[in-house]
Amino acid sequence: MLEVAPDPIAQLVAEFAGRRPVRAGSVIVTIYGDAIAPRGGEAWVGSLLPLLDSLGINGSQVRTALSRLAADGWFDRFPVGRRSYYGLSAGGRRRFEEATRRIYGGPPRGWDGDWRIVAIPGGAGERRERLRKELGWIGFGELAPNALIHPNPDMAAFASVLDHLPPDERPVVISGQSAAGTEERTLRRLVEDCWNLDELAAGYADFCMHFAPLAKALEEGLQAGPLAALQARILLIHGYRRLILRDPMLPPALLPEDWIGWRAYRLSGVIYRALVGPAERWLDAELEARKGPLPTPDARFFERFGGLPRG
């Protein structure tokens, strides 16, 4: 009897739907960031429910998660009759744009040798701890209890963090190159002290192993339908963003050779390009905003992963 190969998308969905606890809010953030933000940033909750239900998240969980995300400043709610529409708030849009650059933009292309050190004067405090977390989120490593460091930060994201601080709460920022003659192995030891790359590499290795069967099936001619393609695309980005947003995005000169994070990026790009067409057709047909079907994706959408096919 001929053995039928397992469906890699169905396997990914079943595995994800069986996870506990359910983190509905995190999945919704992935869906908005990946699929809805490039199409105006707004959707009717009712049109989202079939997709989320197919991933094992019910309507009650969705509505609770959206309410919490709105309370946390990610979304604005727009009631129209008995329908609720959720769109990105101004603050949410800023956070999504910063995440988008990191998720889809690829590894750093170069480094001028400069380091940026952020010194946070004073002792412990809620505002200082929040600043430390925001700088950690954009890749800064801890050099000392009140000092963080990065060789090549996303300057737009860095400016966004600092510009929102009152003048008397802004840290001291020092920029410059290490002394001439500093050996490469010394810089690598500094990297080991400030960032846990081993843990990150293990996460990337697990991600690559998890999605390699899907990449192989697509390469061998798997044709995913619109909903299945979108399911796989969302699960791909959901898994990848949880790693890339912890990645300090260090320049190649400071990373191990053949850094596995680059392999994960290439794998994600291969899968994403294969799925984007049918997935977008599902979004065209099923999702609604207050003015009707979602608009077509903006031009920046097609720059993801180095370039996406149109149409």
Which residues of the chain are in CATH 3.30.70.240 domains? 114-177
pLDDT band at 123 (very low <50, low <70, confident <90, very high): low
Q: Are 261 and 204 in contact (CB under 8 A)?
A: yes
Note the pLDDT tens digit of each residue in 134-144. 899 899 999 98
pLDDT band at 21 (very low <50, low <70, confident <90, very high): confident
Note the pLDDT tens digit of each residue in 227-279. 999 999 999 999 999 999 999 999 988 998 889 999 999 999 999 999 999 99
Instruction: Kindly tell me if the per-residue pLDDT of 94 is higher than 60.
Output: yes
Average pLDDT for 82-108: 92
Q: Are 147 and 119 in contact (CB under 8 A)?
A: yes
The least confident of 2-6, 44-48, 82-86 is: 2-6
Average pLDDT for 14-40: 94
Q: How far apart are CA 169 and CA 131, in angstroms?
A: 10
Which pLDDT score, from 0 to 100, does residue 1 have? Answer: 43
Which pLDDT score, from 0 to 100, does residue 166 have? Answer: 85
The least confident of 23-37, 109-123, 191-205 is: 109-123
Q: How far apart are CA 294 and CA 304, in angstroms?
A: 19
Instruction: Kindly tell me if the per-residue pLDDT of 37 is higher than 90.
Output: yes
Note the pLDDT tens digit of each residue in 273-309. 999 999 999 999 999 999 999 999 999 999 999 999 9
User: Which among 223, 227, 224 is positioned nearest to 49, based on CA atoms?
Assistant: 227
pLDDT band at 65 (very low <50, low <70, confident <90, very high): very high
Q: How far apart are CA 218 and CA 39, in angstroms?
A: 26
Q: Are 75 and 48 in contact (CB under 8 A)?
A: no
Instruction: Kindly tell me if the per-residue pLDDT of 119 is higher than 70.
Output: yes
Which pLDDT score, from 0 to 100, does residue 98 have? Answer: 87
What three-state secondary structure class fits 6? coil
Residues 6+ apart with CB under 8 A from 189: none
The least confident of 109-118, 179-188, 283-292 is: 179-188
Q: What CATH code is assigned to 114-177? A: 3.30.70.240
Which pLDDT score, from 0 to 100, does residue 2 have? Answer: 45
Which pLDDT score, from 0 to 100, does residue 229 have? Answer: 98
Name the amino acid, one letter, at 155. Answer: M
